[in-house]
Amino acid sequence: MEETRFLNGVPGDPMPQETPDIPPALLTQLIAKSDAMWRETQRRDGNAVWHSWQWMRGFYVMLAVWVVTVGIGLWVYVHSRDVEVVVQTVVYNSEGQFLSLGVPQKLLAYEPEDAQWRDMLGQWVHKKQWRTEEPSATLTRVNWGWLYKHTCGEATKRLEQDEERDKPFKTGTLIRSVKLKSITKTPTPQSFQVLWEETSIDKVKATKEQASYTGTFTVGRYKPTSVTDAQENNLGLCVTSYDIRPNL
């Protein structure tokens, strides 16, 4: 029976091959070189990870800076539109100088004088009821812009309805003048009664009519929210409701 020997081959391989011997010195060099290559690969992988982490950290830092910058910009934009109105009381002395009385007060902490309310209401009635034959209606638009700056609350809706009904900006043939007769403070707090006469002339019909009216006005205050509002209504005086009736 023939004997089959297996040296370095596969069982059943009829021609096994011998493994060449590697000198110890060369084997040591190969192991050292392989170890060095492994360490270099690890170092490079570590550097790549470190650089990637640095890039990510830089990205998140820039993102955070951008978010903070945008947030500050929005805050500045929103609050730059806010205005803080204060009232400084002064007197005009005999020497022609203005003298300050006390310290400035916040707008709504200041209590307007009755004369200031009367002045506002007198202008309110005049600007609303007055009519002109001006074709461009520029002055009428200015007057109604003033009216809306001095009207608040439910009175704003009423004023819009009056504008829609009376069409003050439409060119017409009617000329109307207003003459104030009296402005009286009523027992009800923050209310005034205004009495005035109107003279209306229709240039086409060549007619002239006179009528008297009584208006009851409730007044209030509001805080201007923009520089324009503060310039046009520096005390925040406004009509909160009104009722106008002809005198029979």
Give how many domains the chain has, as a whole number: 2
* Separation between Cα atoms, residue 111 and residue 220, nearest integer Å: 11
pTM for this prediction? 0.63
- 194-238 pLDDT, tens digit each: 999 999 998 888 889 999 999 999 999 988 887 788 888 888 999
Claim to verify: residue 214 and residue 138 sit in the same structural domain: yes
* Separation between Cα atoms, residue 215 and residue 131, nearest integer Å: 18
Claim to verify: residue 65 and residue 152 sit in the same structural domain: no
Residue 120: which of 167, 186, 180 has the closest Cα?
A: 180
Claim to verify: residue 118 and residue 74 sit in the same structural domain: no
Instruction: Give the pLDDT score at 103.
Output: 57
The answer to the question of residue 10 being in a domain is no
Three-point CA angle 9, 14, 17, nearest 5°:
40
Give 129's contacts (C-beta < 8 A, 6+ positions apart). 176, 178, 196, 198, 213
DSSP state of 107: G
The answer to the question of residue 27 being in a domain is yes
- 110-137 pLDDT, tens digit each: 888 899 999 999 999 999 999 988 888 8
The answer to the question of residue 85 being in a domain is no
